[in-house]
Amino acid sequence: MIVSASRSNSKNHNHHKKPQQLPKNLRYRRRTEIPPDSHPVLHHVNETETDSDYDENEVNGNFDGNVIWESDEIEAISSLFQGRVPQKPGNLNRERPSPLPLPHKTRPLGFPTSKKIIRTQLARSNRQPVTNLLYKNPTFLITLARDIRSLPHDDNNNNNDVSSVLDPWARFLRKGSLSLTIRELGHMGLAERALHVFSWVQKQPHLFPDDRVLASTVEVLARAHELKMPFDSLDRFITLASRPVYEAMVKGYVKGGNTRLALRLISAAAESKRTLDPSVYAKLILEIGKNPDKRMLVLPLLEELANRDDLKLSQQDCTAIMKVCTKLGRFDLVEALYDWFKKCGCGGGVPSVVMYTTLIHSRCLEGKYREAMGVVWEMEDLDCLLDLPAYRVVIKLFVGLNDLSRTARYFAKLKESGFRPTYDIYRDVIGMYMVSGRLAKCKEIRREAEMAGHKFDELLQG
């Protein structure tokens, strides 16, 4: 009864209570309410239906794990495996620009780099001892020659002066080191100082005997006409001297212009059946060919070279012999030397512009202009650059062939190459235009030649 009375009293009390008000934070809002979402719902899913269907299937055990695909989905997936996607109608065979070249494809193939550690020359030189850096260094050896040249000249104490320069470096020298120093003193015209250096070398047990130093000294003394050798005991000298020393003596006499003694040494070597290097014969032939009165002495040397089976000549020596044979009028020997050089393959088998010029000049003197023209075509095929003597010979060839167009073309190329035409080139070109009747061109070239300082005779001036 007490409980029921309390409940009835509470009901009556609530009936007379004031209506509830909103709190202050809701009655006086500081911010406006967020407007409702203006985007409409595109697809409304009835979650209750889907959830109920899923729950029913799960409860009943009807879900077997297989996904049911729609027909449009199956069509879209199957189109991916049918090959190329159909394109829009239009020009299907349009040309696309070629792709840019890739560096790894345009770069030429090379050898793979070595896996070993590549040591540079500087790194190796820093680790080498001082002896290896000096005993064959040309700069150091030439510096020694200059220091010896700067020594005061004293007839009584020359050996001591040389030793004052060489003694500090004696322990760094090896056999053959001072051969370059001796040759350099010979070029300076100090044959006596070269002999003093050789005397100092003889006193050094670790530097002598040495054929290289001896050969250099003999060559310098023979070149300076200071080599004293009794020719009565020449046979003994031939048997005792080594081949480098013997060849050095012949080269020294040739460079000094004493061809008589050089010929005597070569004839003595031939009698004793001693073979010398072909370059020695080539230098002697070239030196004898400079004297018109002694050119006939060349023929025995040429025959001796022709009989050798192991003939080896450099391109420079072969060209020098060809020039001498041209002066002798032995054009057959010129052709034989040219054919031999191309067959033996010396120097790559490709003649130089000097050899080509010598051959063209030889054929022009012989009157074989057509054969000489074949050499010019060969030079053009090889893109051989001509020098001034080559232009002179080629223009003379075109004048001999009476070919005005080629003469004018090579005359223009001569000036384009930066060369100044010589007197004989101007004379040949003016004579060529004069024969063809082009007098205006003759006057133009004559004025050009006179501005260059050349004066012509009255015939060309008229």
DSSP string, 356-390: HHHHHHHHHHHT-HHHHHHHHHHHHHTTPPP-HHH
* Residue 220 belongs to a domain: yes
Residue range 71-96, pLDDT digits in tens: 888 888 877 776 665 556 666 666 77
CA 301 to chain CA mean position, Å? 38
Task: With a cut of 50, say whether residue 6 has pLDDT above it.
Answer: no
Is the backbone of residue 423 left (phi > 0), alpha (psi -120 to 50) or beta?
alpha
Structural domain count, the chain: 1
Is there a domain that residue 150 lies in?
A: yes
More confident residue, 8 or 344: 344
Average pLDDT over residues 408-430: 92
**Mean pLDDT rounded to a whole number for the chain:** 80
Q: What is the pLDDT of residue 89?
A: 61
Buried b (16+ CB within 10 A) or exposed e, 288-316: bbeeeeebebbeebbeebeeeeeeebebe
Tell me which of 130 and 416 has the higher pLDDT: 416
Residues 128-157, mean pLDDT to the nearest whole number: 81
**Contacts by 71-80 with C-beta closer than 8 Å and gap 24+?**
none
Distance CA 241, CA 247 (A): 10
Q: What is the pLDDT of residues 348-400, one digit of tens each?
A: 678 899 999 999 999 999 999 999 999 999 999 998 999 999 999 999 999 99
Of the pLDDT bands very low, low, confident and very high (cuts 50, 70, 90), residue 461 is: low
CA 435 to CA 425: how far, in whole Å?
15
> Does residue 232 lie within any of the structural domains?
yes
Full domain range(s) for residue 234: 129-254
Q: If we measure between CA atoms, which residue out of 233, 285, 232 comes closest to residue 263?
A: 285
Domain-located, residue 302: no
pLDDT of residue 288: 92
pLDDT tens sequence across 258-293 = 899 899 889 888 888 888 998 899 999 999 988 888
Structure confidence at residue 252 (pLDDT): 93
For residue 209, say if its preceding peptide bond is cis, omega within 30 degrees of 0.
Answer: yes
Does 282 reside within a domain?
A: no
pLDDT on residue 23: 76
pLDDT in the model for residue 116:
57
| pLDDT reported for residue 126 | 55
- Cα separation, 132 vs 54, whole angstroms: 96
Question: Does 151 map to a domain?
Answer: yes
Does residue 395 fall inside a structural domain? Answer: no
| Tens of pLDDT, residues 301-326 | 988 888 887 788 889 999 999 999 99
Distance, in Å, from the CA atom of 98 to the CA atom of 339, rounded to the nearest integer, reads 52
Residue 5 binned pLDDT confidence (cut-offs 50, 70, 90): very low
179 touches 215 (CB < 8 A): yes
| Separation of alpha carbons 273 and 315, rounded Å | 27
Q: What is the mean pLDDT of residues 35-58?
A: 52
pLDDT for position 112: 58
% of the chain surpassing 90 pLDDT: 38
- The per-residue pLDDT for 41 is 54
